[in-house]
Structures are given as C-alpha cells and as structure tokens.
Structure 1
Amino acid sequence: MLDATLYQSMFARSPIGTIVLSASADPVILDVNDAFLRDVGHTREQLVGRLLFAALPAAPEDPDDPYSNGVTALRNALARVLASGEPQSLTTQRYPIRSILPDGREVFVERFWSVTNTPIFGADGSLRCIQHVSIEVTARKQAEEALLLSRREALDAARQAEAERARLGAVLQAAPVGIVLADTRGKVIDANVAHDALWCRHCEPGAAPLDFSEWKGWWADGSARHGQALAVDEWPLAAALRGEPSAHHLIEIETFGASRARRIVVCSAAPIRGHDGQVDAAVVVLLDMTERLRAENALRDADRRKDEFLAMLAHELRNPLAPIMAAAELLVQDAAAPAGVKQASAIIGRQARHLAGLVDDLLDVSRITRGLAVIDKSPLDLSTVVAEAVEQVQPLVASRGHSLALDVQAAPLTVCGDRKRLVQVVANLLNNAAKYTPPGGRIRLAAQAEAGRARLSVSDNGIGMTRELMGRAFELFAQAERDADRAQGGLGIGLAVVRRLVELHGGQIAVDSGGPGQGSCFTLTLPLAPGAAHAGGAQAAQLPAAAGQALEVLVVDDNRDAAQMLGIMVQHFGHAVRTVHTAGEALDQARLHAADVYLLDIGLPGMDGHELARRLRAEAAGAGAVLVAVTGYGGEEAQRAALAAGFDYHFVKPVKGGDLRLLLRDIARARGLGVQERGAAGGARGRYLGR
C-alpha cells in the first residue's frame, strides 16, 4: 500500500490532466492535478469544491453542428459510469473552455479532449468517486482536420483537373482538324481521331518517339523549294520542339494507308512552355486542304474551259455565217446563173440548218442543266429508236467511209421513255463515233436485255481517249480540249446532254477506252418497262429445245423483275421454266415437281440461298439436281460459301446470257447421255462463271 503523501505527489505531478469527481449526477470537483490546471488555465481554488459544469462551462451547443455536443456527451458518459460501475471512454470531443481576455471580454476557446471516466470503489465495494482523465488533443485534432481539408482540396483539385482534361479531350476529339501533342523527346502525349484518319495511322500516346524519317512530306507552298522533300529537322513539330515560334506551312503528305494516298495540308506547330520558360511539349494542327484546293483548281479549270468554249462558240458560229453571207451577197447582186442561184440557196439552207443545230444544242443544255427538260415517257421498242438514230447519222457515216455494224436482239427491248430524246441520245453517240474515227473506220452498235435492263453500246476504233478525258467526258465543254485543230466541229456539250437525258430515263451511261488510238466504247443501260419481258418472251418461249435436251428449271429470286427476266432468258434457250420469289415457295415447288436445275438468288429474305441449297440437297427433289448460285458477290469467299452450301456453279449478277446458255446446254447434253448431272456439266463443282 502506497502512503498518502506519495500517492498525492504522483497525482499532482502526473503529466496527464486528471480531476476527481463526486459520484453524483451533477458531480462536484473533489481534486484536480497540476496538469489539468495548466490545460484549462485555472487555479485550484477556482475549481475544487465547485460543480463540474459550473466551474468549467462550455459554449452553448449548436444543434446544427454535429461536433457541438461535448457537454451532453460528458454527462451521458458520467451517467453510464454511475449506472454500470464500468469505465467509460469518449471519442475525441470538442469542449470549448471559457477564457477572459485582457480587456475583460469572455470568450470560449475551441478545445478538443480525449476523455476517460473511471469509477473508484472503496474497500467495502461502494462507489467513492470518479476519476476523470482528459488529454487535450486540440493540436492533433487541428492537424488532422487540416490534413483532411488538404486531402479534400487535393481531391477536389484532382477532380477538377480530370474534368478539365475530359473537356479538353472532348474538344480535341471533336475538332475537325488533325491535332497531335508531343513531349520534348518526340513521344506522343495525345492525338485526336482526325489526325489518325488523315495519316491512316493510330498514334498511341506514350509510344516510342516519332521517327520523322518515316513520315513522307513535300513542300507545297509554291516557293523555290516547292516539291522538295522535307528533311527530318524541317517538320514543323521538330521545329516547335526546338522552341521555334509557331508557323504555318503548306505541305503535301503521304498517308500510311495501303493506297499511300497524298494529301495537301496546312501544318501549324507551336511550342508549349512551362513556368520556367522552357519547352515542355509542342502541338501540331493539320488542316486538310486537298478537297478545297481540288475544288479551286476545278473552278479555275471550269472558268478556263468556259472561256475556251466562248471562243470556240464564236468560231463555230462564224463558220456557217461566212458561206451564208457570201451566198447572200451573190444573190443580192443578181448576177448568178440559175445553177449558181440554186447552189447558193442550197449552201444557205445547209448552213442555216447547221446554225439551227448549234442553237438547239445550246438550248438543250440550258434547259437540261436548269431542270426544265420535259420527258414524255411511253412504252417503246428500243430497236425503233436505234433505226431512227442510224437513219439520222447514216449520211455522216457514209461520207467518212465508215462501216456500221448493228447487233440488236430480235426480241423487243421495250423501255419506257421519250422517243425523240432517246433518238437524240443514240444519234449523238453514233455521231461522236463517226466524227472521232478516222475515215474508213469501224463502228458497232449492240443492244440486248440483261437482268431486267436494256443495254446499248456504241464502240469504234477511232482516236480513243486518255484516262483524264474519260473522267470528264460527260462534263460541259470537255470536247474543247479533245482535238486542238477542232476539225470535228461541235460545241463539246453533246455528251453532257446525253448523260442528263439518260439519267432522266432512270438509266446510266459510261465510257471506256484503251487510250489514245485505241478507240472508245460508250455503254448506256435503261430499265426495261414493267411487264415488257412478257411481250418479248412470248415469241422466244416458242422456240423448241433440241430433242431430249429440254430442262426443267426453277428460278428463285425475291426481285420479281430479275426473276422474270432470268426466266425469259431460260425460256429463250428452249427450256421449261418456273419462277418463285421465296425460299418457302421454292421448297414447295421442288416437292411438287422436282427441277433439273435450280437458279437460286443468295440474298433471299428469311431463309437465304445458302440455307435453301442445303435444304434442297437434303431432299430427294434436289439431291441430284444442279444448283446454280446467282449473286451480286463475286469474290473467292462468296464462291467458297456457295461451294460449302452445296452449289455446283456460281454466277455473278448480271448473268451473261451466253454463259448461262452454254451451261444449260452442257447440262442438257450430260443428262441426255445419262451422265450424272451434278458437276458433270462442263466443269468442276463450284466453278466460277459469269465473270
């Protein structure tokens, strides 16, 4: 047992603030040590013998402040000690201490305490007092709160920086120009999609430094260095990383795509400096000027061709005016013999008609380009159009000693169109062929039906065309550059009129040439009139097949016009044909009456042609038949898919009549000879035809 003096010395000199409270609901301070007096700034006389909450009052509790509950928390803890006889510790509490300023004003200084209340029992087990130990942790609490605030501020700053980065990234990616940022070592920090699309290469941030020797570029600024390749250190990004000020350069670049295309860009680069003024990074902006420059060049070219056209128009108008004026002067003089008068009148008539033709051409192009051309459509046979056009150009063809061969199918080619305008189209093509073919040349006109469309071509062995001229053959005034001496005459607007008239009929026109001196071929296609195939096919269907060689053919295509035309073609070859438009109908027809040959479109709705072929192969109706795929896909992958599905042959649309006729002929012969049909008709299973 320690003696009382020693105990009192230990209590008084303990470095931890301690007070002894009475064991009551409103405790009285029985004793207090020196450490507690220092913590609260009071004397022993001010505290001992007084009620705890009177001697050490706290600022009124704020109900809106969750930390302002020190008095309540302490009262509750003391009550629990009395009730349970167990020590009670409190989490860190805010318990402000009253203080008197030098000017006499009373203030409460915010203080934080870590408190433990321990019951003290006597020898008889009765509760004698409560030891209240409090450690001031104000400095620690303030440091913790400062740290927490700092963390919050850091998190807020990080979130704000991330939001700013996200906004900058969104702006970067949305920009319609190519943008790339790189650090001082040339490593990409960021690049937007427009930059990657322009170069056809993805610039991965943080990858190896850019190797400028890989990037191909040439100066395109029109200066003395125009066309020279950029050296490694001449790239604007390299210059910016050296700290050179921002600059704008016109550069032609070569992309990394498979085509290695070239683009002309305005390249702007600038250094990015840190707080110390040193270059930390650089930014490059690339504006693609290719299409704009092409458009500007096209406008300049169009303006030049317009000027040339006007000069050429004056020349063309003067040509007929000269003989007209001379003939008129002769008639005015009344000095010509009757034969001379007749001759002069004939000259005036011919040249006036020539002038009228030129004016008609000008009016045509004016009306058509302004959308004022009127097309009076009605069903007509294209062969009558060809006959009328040939009649118109025959004098020119004969005068130049050309031979004109016609190859027009016997069955009607009924289209819905304007007879006068279509005659104008065909006559213009024949007229061009005659004009641009040296005397004694060969001209051929062919017309036939192909996959629901009428196809007409005019070919010659004339002067031919360059690839550049083919690209603009149907533009206005393109003819002005075709022949420098203008020996052929004309305004160079005929083909532009032809293209627009063909388009107004729902058709298309194209030109092909092997090059200068290799002749030209103009091909136009027009949609056949609805139901026209019936008119042309009725007579063709009456053609008998060779004895024992007629096949049963089932055509399956959801495009009714395509199915109808393919059926007419098969009938024309002398075979029996049925047409259906869905896979379900095809299976029903096959079960009712099996066919020898099935012509199946691949792109059928619901069940496609591949699945239909597999179903037919699984049934008796198609097990021994010849299956022919008819599709718009002609690559090796499409052929492999057709072969895997059970097809024997693969045609690419539009199906060529000659190829189909030969295939059906060979199948019929093989069938008549008793040879197994599948794969025996002139080739291995899956052979690719109709290229």
Structure 2
Amino acid sequence: MRVYGVTFDISMQRADEERLSLSERRYRALVESTSALVWSADANGKIRPSNSEWERFTGTPREKLSGWGWLEFTYPDDRERIYAAWLDAIREGVGITLTFRMRQRDQDYRIVQAHAAPLYDEQGQLQEWEWFGTTTDVTPQYEAQAAIEARSLRLTVAMQAAKIHILSIELKSRTLLFETDGEPQVSETLTYDAALARVHPDDSATLDRYLRHLAAGEEPSGLFEFRVQNNPHREQWMQGSALLQRDANGEPLRIIGCLIDITDRKLMELMLREAGRRKDEFLAMLAHELRNPLAPLRIVIALLQKDDDMHTHRRELVSLMSRQVEHMTRIVDDLLEVSRITQGRIALQLEPILVGTAVYHAVEAIAGMMESRAQHIAVDVTDTTAWVCGDVTRLSQILVNVLNNASKYTPEMGRITVSTNANDEHVAIVIADTGTGISADLLPKVFELFSQSESTLDRSNGGLVIGLSLVKKLIEMHKGTITVQSPGPGLGMTVTVRLPRLHHHERYSALALSDTDAPAHEKHQALRILVVYDNRDAADSLAMLCESEGHVAQVIYSSSESF
C-alpha cells in the first residue's frame, strides 16, 4: 500500500494567526483596562457591551443591556432624541458623538458622551458587528465647565454693577487690552503712550511712574487715582489697582489692573467739601455777629457790679446775668476756635510747661463755678516734675473746658477728681466725676461737633458738645490723645488727656501760669484812651468802663471822624 500526501508550508498562516490572537488579546486587555463603556453594534443599531464596566456602572448584567436594553437606562427626556440620532447615523454609515444622561447603579443620573464609528474591511464592506463605540462619564468635566460659566457670570454681573473695567498692558508691545462687562475690547491703535495722553496732565506723570515701578518688579502700595479727559467738558475720575504678571521664566510679561469709575463720588466729595467750607464760614460769621452784642452786655454788667450801693436783690440779678452772659461768651468763643482750627488759622506757641502748675491754674479758674454748685474737687498731682511742650493758653483752655464740662454735668454735692501720672513717654491728666454719665451708644459721638446728649426733665444743662470737639482738636495739635469712658447713665464719666512728656528742656524758660497774672494791687497811671468802633453800643460801654477805672476816654464811630 502506498500513501500519497501533500505538504504545505503554513508558517506564514500560523504567524498571521498568532499575530491575530495577540492583537485580539491586546484589544480585550485594552477594553478591560479602560473605564469607558466599550461596545459594538450591528447594522440595525443593536449594541453588545464589550467589557465589564457596563455591569459596574449600571449594576445590571451585560446580557440585559444588549440590543436596545441600554435605552432603559437613559434619562426619559433624552431617550427619544438619542434613539433617533443613533438610527440616522446607522442609515448614513457615518460616525457620531452623542451626549446624554444615563442612570448609574445608585439611581443617580450621570452625564455621558458616546462616540461611535463604523468598521470597514479592506474591500470597504461593513463587518459583521460593523460599529465600534465607547461611552464615557463626562460629569466632572461638565460640572467644572458649569462652575466656570457660573463664576464668569457672577464676575460679569459684579463688573456691571460696580462699573469695573479690566485692563492689561503688554510690556513688550506696549499695547492695551480692555475688558468691559466681561467682553474684551482690543484697539490696535491704542498704545500705552496714546492711552497715557488721555490722562489729565496733572496726573499722567504720577500714573506713569506708578506703572513703571510696577513693571520693574517693585510693589507700589495702595490704590491710584487719575482723571481721564475723554470729554473736554467733563473729567472722568478713575481709581484702580494693578499687579505684575510674569512668564514661565519669571520675566515681567504684562500688567493687569482693574479700574472703577469714581466720578460721581469725587463730585460728591467736592460738593461736601464746598458745603463744609461754607458751613465753617457761616459759623465764623455767626460767632462774630453774636460776639458783637455780647461785648457791650458784658461791659454793662461789669459797670453794674462796680456799684457798691446796689440793692441785694438787684446784685443777685446782675450776678445771674453775668453767669449767663459768660456762658454764652464761652459758646461763641468755642465756635470761633473750631472755625479757626478747621481753617488752619491757629498756630501754637510751644514752650515747656509744668503740668502741675497748669492743672492748679485750671482748677483755680473753675473753682467759683464748682463752689456755687456745692461740688467737691480733689486734686492729686503725684509727679511734680512732669513737663510737656505746649501752648500755655491752649493747654489752659483744654483743662478749663474739660473741668467746666465735668461741673456742668455733675449734680450739686457731687465729686470731681483731678489726678496726674506720668511714664517715660506720656503724661496723663485724668478728670473723673460722679455726674450723669453717658450711654454706650452716645459715647463714640461725644467728640463730634454739635452732637447732642440726651435731654431729660431734670437735666437742664444738656446741649451741643462744642467744647469736647474743640478740646480734641487742640489736643491733636499738641500730638496728644483724649479718651472718654463712662460705665453708663448716672455712673459718672472719666476723661483722660495724654500728652507727650518733655524730657530735655531748659527749666528756666518754662512759664509758670500762676506768674502770668499781674498783681492786683499794682497801680496804673490814668491814661487817655481813644475807642474806635463802628458798634456804637460796644464803643460807648467800653468807654464807660475805661472811665470807671479812672482813665479819660474818647469815642469815634468811623475812621472818617476827627478827634
């Protein structure tokens, strides 16, 4: 028996099969390693899941998802749209990308994106499962995009509400990019120099210097303001801040800043400043007008007090008028002082002052008022060598004003204490009373001009706090501070004045306040006095007062009169 056979060389076939098997294993490994839902589809559009991610994502076996079962997991509102688009792609044989919502195993819908493409053989024919696709969870990307859009919307709304303009200056090209209401606006012709030319001449140099320092890597502090001359009849005020942005190598790249239109605010500031100036002028004029009738009244009262034969009852009435006129005079003088300080017309005459002497002098000046109210005052000057540098007259005015305020708001038989203490830096003068005190809500306002304290039926001394406003301004001119404390209504008040202590001084140049007054017994020779005043009542009464002192007085009422 003979056997006939044919031997074929199948090395190439085996090699091709091995390569095909390796390719298939690589494909399956790739499919299993991806987190996407991998699937294939036939010519009718029915799909077949290709990896286990389907079951992990939906919690359902892959067999139940085959065919059209996957549609049950799409969001109801998306189902019809997805189904129609998928059939259109099958009919046309073109790739497609769809975005829709798909239910996860925990019943939560996720945003997914499906990509599908047809698979053709070498002859251009569709294979058995001719469609290949992936479905990927893109929820994080959509949430991030939504957050960016929401943030951009909030920024745009904020820019529109605040009228903010974003500005960037490219340092190399020296060109500007504006962003208004979130929309960039590029002007090819608007270079840095052209933009700077629109700035007010008084502001351009300062703005240019600020930006150059910033471009050089320095960090100018604070905001900058400038005026823009877009309209020849109206200036536009802008306020902004800027930062320097660097490139990856740390080199200056661009300046980014934001600008806010503050024109309305500036116009309001100018109006308020003008109103304040006019108010100060009015107060000064009012004080002068009030002072004119007060002067002859004070003189007449002084003349009446010289009458030794006056009846006791009339003498009491004259004393009453004297006290009230003096009170009105202090108010008017305070108004004048506030006006002068506001206008910068007060210059301090500074010299070394012994604090103890100043305190005793102020107490002496207010002693009569306290005695009339049967008030008790205690003075404790622990450091008799504490000196300050100040204006003698103004320091006396400060202490007298505070003491007068304490006496005015302390009832009869009340107690007022004055004490001093010093450290290396400051000298403190503390004035405490057992008066009516002040409520916590009014305490921060006691230094405001014309702030009004609470008025009650048993408190006739309430009124406008001009004195404390004046005191605060004078103390600040001495580089000192003043604080007011009160536990509450009816519990008294404590005022603390702190002034810088003077260490190095020439003691012989110090002026003792008690030595400034001339001796009462000193005699003066009779003088011939000429009184020139356009206020006839003031001139006549002043001449009468001079004559009561033994002088010879002549009055004229204008510079054109002869004498």
User: TM-score per shorter chain, which class?
Assistant: 0.3 to 0.5
Q: TM-score, normalised by structure 1?
A: 0.31
Q: TM-score normalized by structure 2? A: 0.37
| Structure with more contact order per residue of length (Cα contacts < 8 Å, sep ≥ 6) | 2
